[in-house]
Amino acid sequence: MKTLDDLLGEGVSGRRVFVRADLNVPFDKANPGVISDDGRARAVLPTLIALRDAGARVIVASHLGRPKGAPDPKFTLAPVATRLGELLGSSVVFASDTVGDDARAKVEALADGQVLLLENLRFNAGETSKDDAERGAFADQLAAFADFYVDDAFGAVHRKHASVFDVPARLPHYAGGLVLKEVEVLKKVSESPEQPYVVVLGGSKVSDKLAVIQALLPKVDKLLVGGGMCFTFLKAQGHEVGKSLLEDEMVAVCADLLEQAQGRIVLPVDVVAAAEFSADAAHDVVDASGIPADRLGLDIGPKSTELFASAIAGAKTVFWNGPMGVFELAPFAAGTRGVAEAITKIDGFSVVGGGDSAAAVRTLGLDESAFGHISTGGGASLEYLEGKTLPGVAALEK
């Protein structure tokens, strides 16, 4: 695939460049409109700065949340435009629609080196439509804005959406540095990881991670399982899990995986169990083999944290996706923190697989530079490791 460097080498001064970015940032629940983690915005800065400084007229597009194909004030990108301008050190023009009158006027008025952010792509039904014609019609409108297309939205490349899959078919297209780096890193950990290779998986559901477990299990030395998904595995071992998150329909599947793994799947030996899902709830550490009927597990316990840290310590490659507990609530953050800190200390290469794991690194105030790579795409990372074709990457390779 052609790269941003190739495009810059061809010259972009005075030309319009459409950049698909991933600005799907989280907002503070208590303060609507206040971005709680701008990591995804910061990740695309090198591409935007390179294009701006080369004199391009930069048109940035992204989705935010899951609106229903129509404008919804809850999902406006306006606060993101403000933050992006702060990060760039120069104001970002914001269009109040995506392909409407305001967007067209502001695209036409762009000056060399200026950056414009379009309103949320998903305010248009054509962006996510499964109908090729509807999606293509929206892609035609987006492509008409620009001379070139750059995809630097790794967090969206697993979606067959208009701005990801169809627009690059209509314009000369290039991969941004972020997409190139993500693919390079994930190829390394999926095809040629240095051993010992340890994978740490958390999050809510086994069903969400089943395909990646099946793909990685033959390659890993240890697979450490925490988060809500561990309780279905514990149930498969015959343990009581109280009111903890449980996928009954996956118990037999987990039993099969444990048998296949021959001891390579490592589960918690203790958990922090609480009376209810609340930071103020009564809680204590209990043995993972018998969680009380009136309690639910919300974090791995201290012995489990030590066990996991010990398994991580000797690794040459670590891939981590999913927190060990409800790290957003202080009483249940210790497991995630302990595992993350253990990963920073390995004498090898570590990858944080995006999503909640990347959010945890920043929320807990950990040093991002201590990890080998922090992905911007949780779902995209997992699908790549599962061996799936990512539509956005395939479009860039054509």
Percent over 90 (pLDDT), the chain:
86
Any known ligand binding at 104? no
Please indicate whether residue 188 is annotated as part of the active site. no
Same domain, 215 and 328: yes
Q: Is 23 annotated as a binding residue?
A: yes
Grade residue 114 by pLDDT with cuts at 50, 70 and 90. Answer: very high
63 is an annotated ligand-binding site residue:
yes
Instruction: Say if 186 falls within a structural domain.
Output: no
| Residue 202 and residue 311 in one domain | yes
For residue 28, the model assigns a pLDDT of 86
Q: What is the pLDDT of residues 24-45, one digit of tens each?
A: 998 888 887 899 889 889 999 9
Give the per-residue pLDDT at 4: 97
What is the structure's pLDDT at 93? 98
Average pLDDT, the chain: 95
Band the pLDDT of 94: cuts 50, 70, 90: very high
- Does 355 participate in catalysis according to the annotation? yes
Residues 109 and 82 in one domain: yes
Do 241 and 290 lie in one domain? The reply is: yes
Of 15, 16, 20, 40, which is the active-site residue?
A: 40
Contact 380, 158 (CB under 8 A): yes
User: Are the CB atoms for 361 and 385 separated by under 8 Å?
Assistant: no
pLDDT of residue 18: 98
The answer on pLDDT for 104 being more than 80 is yes
Q: Which residue in the list 2, 42, 181, 205 is annotated as catalytic?
A: 205
Q: Is residue 214 part of a domain?
A: yes
Task: State whether 155 and 203 are in the same domain.
Answer: no
Q: Tell me the residue range of the domain where 246 lies.
A: 193-386
- The answer, yes or no, to whether residue 12 has pLDDT greater than 80, is yes
Dist CA 152 CA 174 (whole Å):
9
Asked, for residue 398, whether it belongs to a domain, the answer is no
Instruction: Confirm whether 379 is a catalytic residue.
Output: yes
Q: Say yes or no: 139 and 216 in one domain.
A: no
Task: Specify whether 265 is located in the same domain as 299.
Answer: yes
User: What pLDDT, in 10s, does the model give residues 123-133?
Assistant: 999 999 999 99
Does residue 64 have a known ligand-binding role? yes
pLDDT at 73: 94
Total-model pTM: 0.87
B/e letters for 45-56, b = 16+ CB within 10 Å, e = fewer, are: eebbbbbbebbb
Same domain as 223, residue 287:
yes
Q: Tell me, yes or no, whether 258 and 157 share the same domain.
A: no
**Tens-place pLDDT, residues 313-328:** 999 999 999 999 999 9
One domain, residues 154 and 211: no
Tens digits of per-residue pLDDT, 342-398? 999 999 999 998 778 888 998 898 998 999 999 888 889 899 998 899 999 999 998
Q: Examine residue 392 and state whether it is found in any structural domain, yes or no.
A: no
Same domain, 231 and 302: yes
Q: Which of the listed residues 127, 157, 180 is the one where a domain comes to its end?
A: 180
Do 154 and 234 fall within a single domain? no
The CATH number of residue 155's host domain is: 3.40.50.1260
Q: What is the pLDDT of residue 329?
A: 93
Contacts of 105 (CB under 8 A, 6+ apart): none
Question: Tens digits of per-residue pLDDT, 143-190?
Answer: 999 999 999 999 999 999 999 999 999 999 999 999 999 999 999 998
> 298, 217, 195: which is closest to 264 by C-alpha?
217
In a domain, 393, yes or no: no
Residue 83 lies in a domain: yes
pLDDT at residue 74 in the model: 93
Q: Is 83 annotated as a binding residue?
A: no
**135 is known to lie in a ligand binding site:** no
The reply, when asked if residue 355 is annotated as ligand binding, is yes
Half-sphere exposure of 45 (CA within 13 A, CB side): 15
Confidence band (pLDDT; 50, 70, 90) for 312?
Answer: very high
Q: How confident is the model at residue 119 (pLDDT cuts 50, 70, 90)?
A: very high
Q: What is the pLDDT of residue 226?
A: 97
338 annotated to a ligand binding site: no
pLDDT at 136: 98
End of a domain among 180, 212, 232? 180
So what's the pLDDT on residue 16?
Answer: 98
Query: What is each CA distance from 375 to 184, 205, 371, in whole angstroms?
Result: 11, 20, 10
Whether residue 377 lies in the annotated active site: no
216 lies in some domain: yes
Exactly one of 353, 355, 377, 378 is catalytic; which is it?
Answer: 355
CA 253 to centroid of chain Cα atoms: 26
Residue 90 lies in a domain: yes
Domain stops at, among 159, 180, 201? 180
Taking every pair of C-alpha atoms in the chain, what is the biggest distance, in angstroms? Answer: 67
Binding site annotation covers 354?
A: yes
Q: Which of 39, 113, 177, 379 is catalytic?
A: 379
Confidence of residue 198 (pLDDT cuts 50, 70, 90): very high
Domain count of the chain? Answer: 2
Q: What's the gap between Cα 317 and its chain centre?
A: 20
